[in-house]
């Protein structure tokens, strides 16, 4: 009787193919996990294009107490619910809040609600906000020229039905202010 010989090369070749498939699937899982947490989420709220907030009047006093007064009007088609307010050197170019760059010539922005958070500033309405050094960190203000930036933000409905605050990168308004 003849012995049946087994081809051991064929078995080791099958094991190598199985190992290659397991390694490929493992790498795919690792890459998916990395991309899932490090790639920006597509559900970031987007600001409508027709948001238009304008500065009607701005004044700055350095004595007897430091105070900035801003009159804003909503000339857009959407209600503006909040805005970010930045003060910096008069030579600074406008920069979006969430552009990833560090604003070295600006103080960190302040976030303010306009009127009540539910109502916001309706199209055509105006409001005046007064910021004093006793309440807000503007004690650095001295006589001179400053650049004021205001970036509106609106609530938009997300795909999950929740309302999220969308910062309007394309609607930044900038104006030079003279403090006396």
Question: Is the pLDDT at 97 greater than 80, yes or no?
Answer: no
Q: Output the pLDDT for position 118.
A: 60
pLDDT, mean over the chain: 77
Residue reference for tokens 């055509």: 124
Q: Output the pLDDT for position 4.
A: 58
Of 108 and 153, the one with more pLDDT: 153
Q: How confident is the model at residue 119 (pLDDT cuts 50, 70, 90)?
A: confident
What is the number of helices (H) and of strands (E) in the chain? 1, 8
- HSE, side-chain direction, 13 A CA sphere, residue 92: 24
Question: Is the pLDDT at 19 greater than 50, yes or no?
Answer: yes
Most confident listed range (9-18, 24-33, 135-144, 160-169):
24-33
pTM recorded for the entire structure? 0.63
Residue among 180, 121, 107, 115 at smallest CA distance from 149:
107
Write down the domain spans for the chain.
7-39, 53-179
Give me the sheet containing 126-132, strands edge to edge.
53-61, 67-74, 126-132
Distance separating alpha carbons of residues 99 and 168, to the nearest angstrom: 11
Overall fold of domain 53-179? Immunoglobulin-like (2.60.40)
Percentage of residues of the chain with pLDDT beyond 90: 9
Strands (E), the chain: 53-61, 67-74, 82-89, 110-113, 126-132, 144-157, 163-167, 173-179
Distance separating alpha carbons of residues 152 and 173, to the nearest angstrom: 9
- Mean pLDDT over 87-111 rounds to 52
Q: Which two tokens stand for residue 63?
A: 């004595």
C-beta of residue 69 within 8 angstroms of C-beta of residue 177: no
């Amino acid at each position: 009787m003849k012995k049946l010989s087994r081809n051991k090369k064929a078995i080791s070749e099958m094991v190598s193919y199985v190992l290659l498939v397991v390694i490929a699937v493992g790498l795919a899982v690792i890459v998916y996990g990395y991309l899932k947490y490090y790639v920006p989420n597509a559900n970031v709220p987007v600001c409508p294009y027709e948001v238009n907030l304008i500065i009607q009047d701005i004044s700055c006093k350095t004595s007897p107490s430091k105070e900035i007064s801003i009159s804003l009007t909503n000339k857009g088609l959407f209600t503006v619910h909040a805005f970010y307010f930045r003060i910096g050197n008069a030579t600074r170019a406008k920069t979006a809040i969430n552009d990833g760059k560090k604003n070295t010539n600006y103080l960190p922005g302040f976030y303010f609600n306009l009127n009540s958070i539910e109502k916001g500033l309706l199209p055509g309405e105006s409001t005046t906000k007064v910021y004093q050094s006793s309440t807000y960190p503007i004690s650095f203000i001295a006589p001179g020229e400053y650049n004021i930036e205001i970036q509106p933000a609106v609530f938009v409905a997300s795909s999950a039905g929740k309302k999220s605050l969308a910062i309007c990168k394309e609607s930044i308004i900038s104006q030079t202010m003279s403090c006396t």
